[in-house]
Amino acid sequence: MINEQTNPLDGIFAALSDPKRRALLARLAAQDGLTVGELAGPLPISMPAVTRHLDVLEGAGLVSREKQGRRVLCHLRPAPLRAVRDWLTDYETFWTEGLDRLAALLEAKP
Amino acid sequence: MINEQTNPLDGIFAALSDPKRRALLARLAAQDGLTVGELAGPLPISMPAVTRHLDVLEGAGLVSREKQGRRVLCHLRPAPLRAVRDWLTDYETFWTEGLDRLAALLEAKP
């Protein structure tokens, strides 16, 4: 059940555990191709901090950076989010069945 | 955009970033109410390590422990997984639109 190799989900979940990194993803989802400066602008964190967060997001495959002349444009990459969605799918049956059991219980005890 | 209070998703994603903790969740999804000993059994980790992982999972609301006499039964709690699913929903539009754009591109260049 446990794979000795590193599972990409380890890095994806770790990257998503920081609210500032989730905020960066949300901004890139709303507006693709922002520069690091544009990303840092409205957030109460420094440019170097944003760069470090982008390093983590890029390491997890959630963000890519593209050089255009002197500007670096950031893009959200959805594949790791699909991996999370796929991982969750196994549990959906579980919680749906849980709700079904609850409904049956409520019907049995009106 | 960034909430100064701790967002429950921070702890949920951090808890899910460890493959052993995900393995524990998978076992509890397959069989509810296992004891700590039963959970530790097939995994290549010690009982104290399993207990520490369960502490993290319980802290994130993913697992609850119930005392029954001298046994402690573990249960998977799906609410945090639903929170992850809800968080992901905002991005589904993004990646679906991405696929639509790709499809349009492929149609334009047969």
Q: Catalogue all structural domains in chain A, each as residue range(s) with its CATH number.
A: 8-77 (1.10.10.10)
Give percent above pLDDT 70 in chain A: 80
Question: Helix H segments across chain B?
Answer: 8-16, 19-30, 36-40, 47-59, 79-108
pLDDT of residue A79: 93
- The predicted-structure confidence for B77-106, as pLDDT tens digits, reads as follows 999 999 999 999 888 876 666 556 656 666
Among B31, B38, B94, B100, pick the best mutation site for testing chain A contact (most A Cβ within 10 A).
B94
Report yes or no: A95 at the B interface, CB cutoff 8 Å: yes
Residue B42 has pLDDT above 70, yes or no: yes
Report yes or no: A100 at the B interface, CB cutoff 8 Å: no
CB B32 within 8 A of CB B75: yes
Residue A53 has pLDDT above 90, yes or no: yes
Report yes or no: A99 at the B interface, CB cutoff 8 Å: no
- Which residue carries 């069945």 as its tokens? A97
Residue A101 has pLDDT above 70, yes or no: no
Residue A4 has pLDDT above 60, yes or no: no
CB A13 within 8 A of CB B16: yes
Q: What is the phi/psi pair of residue A44, to 5°? A: -80, 50
pLDDT of residue B40: 85
Would you give the distance in Å from CA A30 to the centre of its chain?
A: 14
Q: What is the phi/psi pair of residue B36, to 5°? A: -60, -40
Cα separation, A57 vs A63, whole angstroms? 6
Average pLDDT on B54-68 reads 96
Average pLDDT on B5-32 reads 94
- In this prediction the ipTM stands at 0.84
Average pLDDT on A41-64 reads 92
